[in-house]
Structure 1
Amino acid sequence: MPSHEQQQQEPAAGAGAGADFSALPPELVHRALAAAGASDVAAASRACRAWRDALRPLREAAALHARGRRVKHAAGAAAAAGAEGRKAERQRALGLFQRAARLGSAAAMVDAGLMCWEEGRRDEAVGCYQKAAELGHPVGMCNLGVSYLEADPPKAEEAVRWFYPAAAAGNARAQYNLGLCLQNGKGIKRNQREAAKWYLRAAEGGNVRAMYNISLCYNYGEGFSQDQVRSKRWLQLAADCGHKKALYECGIKLCAAGDKVRSLMYLELATRRGEAAASHMRDVILESLSLVNAQRALSDADKWRPRALYTRR
Structure 2
Amino acid sequence: MTISRRISLTLLVAVVPCWASPASAFDGADVASQGVKAAGRLSLFETPSQAFRQGMDGYRSGNFKTSVEAFEYAAANGNPLARWKLGRMYASGDGVPQDDDKAYRYFSQIVANYDEEDGDRRDLSVVSNAFVAVGVYSLNGLPKTGVKADPERALEMFQYAALNFGNADAQYNLARLYLDGADGALPKDPRQAVRWLALAADKGHLQAQALLGHMLFNGFDGMPPQRAKGLMWLTMARDAALGGKDPKDAWIVDLYGKAASSASDSDRQVASLYLDEHHKRN
Q: Which has the higher contact order (CA 8 A, sep 6+)?
A: 2
Alignment equivalent of 2:213, drawn from 251, 273, 277? 251
Instruction: Tell me the equivalent position of 2:158.
Output: 199
User: How far has the Cα of 1:247 moved from its partner?
Assistant: 0.4
RMSD of Structure 2 on Structure 1 (CA): 3.0
Aligned mates of 2:149, 2:129 — CA distance in 1:
19
Cα deviations by residue, 1:248-307 (Å, 9 ceiling, x for unpaired)? 1111222123333222221111112213334314532666337743542442454363xx
Closer, same or farther: CA 123–270 of 1 in aligned 2, 3 Å: farther
Cα deviations by residue, 1:16-55 (Å, 9 ceiling, x for unpaired)? xxxxxxxxxxxxxxxxxxxxxxxxxxxxxxxxxxxxxxxx
- Counterpart residue type for residue 205 of structure 2: H
Closer, same or farther: CA 236–122 of 1 in aligned 2, 3 Å: farther
Cα deviations by residue, 1:133-181 (Å, 9 ceiling, x for unpaired)? 1121223212212222222542222222222120123311111111111
Aligned mates of 2:195, 2:69 — CA distance in 1:
41
Closer, same or farther: CA 160–293 of 1 in aligned 2, 3 Å: closer
- Counterpart residue type for residue 236 of structure 1: A
Contact preservation (8 Å) 1:268, 1:282: no
Closer, same or farther: CA 276–291 of 1 in aligned 2, 3 Å: closer
Contact preservation (8 Å) 2:217, 2:259: no
Instruction: Tell me the equivalent position of 1:127.
Output: 69
Instruction: Tell me the equivalent position of 2:136.
Output: 180
Q: After the TM superposition, which segments of 4 or more aligned residues of structure 1 sit over 6 Å from their partners?
A: none
- Counterpart residue type for residue 196 of structure 2: W
Closer, same or farther: CA 265–301 of 1 in aligned 2, 3 Å: farther
Alignment equivalent of 1:240, drawn from 202, 211, 216? 202
User: How far has the Cα of 1:193 moved from its partner?
Assistant: 1.7
Aligned residue-pair number: 205
SS at match of 2:171: helix
Q: Which runs of 5+ in 1 are unaligned?
A: 1-100, 306-313
* Matches for 1:206-245 after TM superposition, within 5 Å: 206-222=166-182, 223-245=185-207
Contact preservation (8 Å) 2:212, 2:230: yes
Which structure has greater helix proportion?
1
Instruction: Tell me the equivalent position of 2:23.
Output: none
Aligned mates of 2:159, 2:92 — CA distance in 1:
24
Contact preservation (8 Å) 1:216, 1:231: yes
- Counterpart residue type for residue 213 of structure 1: N
Instruction: Tell me the equivalent position of 2:245.
Output: none
Identity of aligned residues (%): 25
* Rg larger for: 1
